[in-house]
Amino acid sequence: MQMRAILTILAAFAAMATVDASVFAADSGSTIKGFEVNQTLLDSDVALAKSMAQLLAKQPTELKSLLSRFDTADIREDRPIGFGFRQLFLPMYGGYTTIWLHLVVTQESIIALECVQSGMADSWGSIAAAIRKAWQRAPVESTETSDTFVTYVDRAKLDSVLSRELGERATTAAPGSSEKPFHLLLSPFEQLDVGSSCYYTGAKPPGRVAIDQLTSSGRYDLIRAILRGPSPEGRTYAALALIKDQKMTPADATVVQKLKALNIPIHVCNGCELSTQRFADMVR
C-alpha cells in the first residue's frame, strides 16, 4: 500500500476514535495472537469482503455501473494519466479494514482493475484468515497489512495506445533484482510520489528506491520502457534518471517532449508536504 492510502486509513481510524467507547466495548469476541478482536467490526469486514467478491465475480467493464455501488463523493483519485486514460481510487470501509479499488479507464470502459483489502499492523494478523475465507480465494499478493485479491489489465489495449503514442517498449524484465522495481514503476495502478526525502520519516519514497535500483544495475533499457509506460510518476522518474545520467537518446528526447505537452498532475513529495506538479515543470 502506498503512503497516501496509509495516511487516509490513519485519518479514518482517528475519526473512529472519537466514537463512543461503548461501541467498541460491546461483544469484543475472541483474542487471537494477543489482539482482542471486536466481533462486530470483524463481521463488517467479512461482509464487505463477501460483497466485493460477488461484485467482482464477473469482470466489470462499465465504469458507470461499478460507480453506482460506491459513494462517489468519497473517490480519492480521479485523474487523467495521459493518452485518453484515467486513474481512479475508490474506497469502501469495513470495521478494521478498507477495500481499495484501483482502476484505469478509457472512454468510461474499465481496462484495468486491482482490488486490495488493507488494515492496520496491530489487527491484521488476527483478522486476515477470516477475510480470506470470506473471499473464498487465495490472495494474489500479500503484505503485512493487506491482501490483493483481484488484479487484471487489458494489456493489449493499454499497450497498443502507448506504443502508438510513445513507441514500442519492453513489457517484462527477466527475474532478478530488477523485476520488482521495474513492475512498480510500470504499474498502471500505483500512485507513486516523486521526491527524494518524504513523509514524516524523511525516507526515500518507493518510486525513488525503485529507480535508484535500476540505475545502480545499469538497466537503462528498462528505464526507457518505463518512460513509455502508463504511470505518470514512473515516466517522470525515468526521464529524470536518463537526463541525470546522460543516457537520453534522440528517441527518448522525442518522448519527453510529448510528455511535456500533457497537462496532467504528477504527485510529488517533499518531507511531509504532498502536492502535484506538471511534468514540464519538473523535467527540464
Greater model confidence, 1 or 75: 75
Q: Classify residue 158: in a domain, yes or no.
A: no
Same-domain pairing of 120 and 62: yes
For the segment 21-50, the average pLDDT, to the nearest whole number, is: 70
* pLDDT reported for residue 25: 32
| pLDDT higher than 50, residue 83 | yes
Same-domain pairing of 31 and 147: yes
Nearest to 89 by CA among 56, 65, 108, 67: 67
Greater model confidence, 11 or 239: 239
pTM above 0.75, yes or no: yes
Q: Classify residue 148: in a domain, yes or no.
A: yes
| pLDDT higher than 90, residue 212 | yes
**In this structure, are residues 210 and 123 in contact, taking their beta carbons and an 8 Å threshold?**
no
C-alpha cell at 254: 522525442
Domain boundary among 153, 176, 211: 153
Q: Classify residue 163: in a domain, yes or no.
A: no
Nearest to 181 by CA among 217, 210, 221, 154: 210
Same-domain pairing of 99 and 76: yes
Same-domain pairing of 174 and 247: yes
For the segment 255-265, the average pLDDT, to the nearest whole number, is: 96
Sequence-distant (≥ 6) Cβ neighbours of residue 272 within 8 angstroms? 198, 199, 200
Domain boundary among 153, 187, 211: 153
Same-domain pairing of 191 and 241: yes
* pLDDT reported for residue 8: 42
Same-domain pairing of 257 and 138: no
Domain count, the chain: 2
Same-domain pairing of 88 and 123: yes
| pLDDT higher than 70, residue 23 | no
Same-domain pairing of 133 and 190: no
**What pLDDT digit, counting tens, does each position of 43-66 carry?**
999 999 999 999 999 889 999 999
* pLDDT reported for residue 34: 66
Q: Classify residue 39: in a domain, yes or no.
A: yes
Same-domain pairing of 113 and 13: yes
Same-domain pairing of 57 and 147: yes
Same-domain pairing of 128 and 177: no
Q: Classify residue 159: in a domain, yes or no.
A: no
Average pLDDT, the chain: 88
Same-domain pairing of 131 and 180: no
Domain boundary among 153, 176, 198: 153
Q: Classify residue 260: in a domain, yes or no.
A: yes
Element (H, E) at 117: strand 109-118
**What pLDDT digit, counting tens, does each position of 181-199 carry?**
999 999 999 889 999 999 9
Q: Classify residue 78: in a domain, yes or no.
A: yes
Q: Classify residue 176: in a domain, yes or no.
A: yes
Range of the domain at 61: 3-153
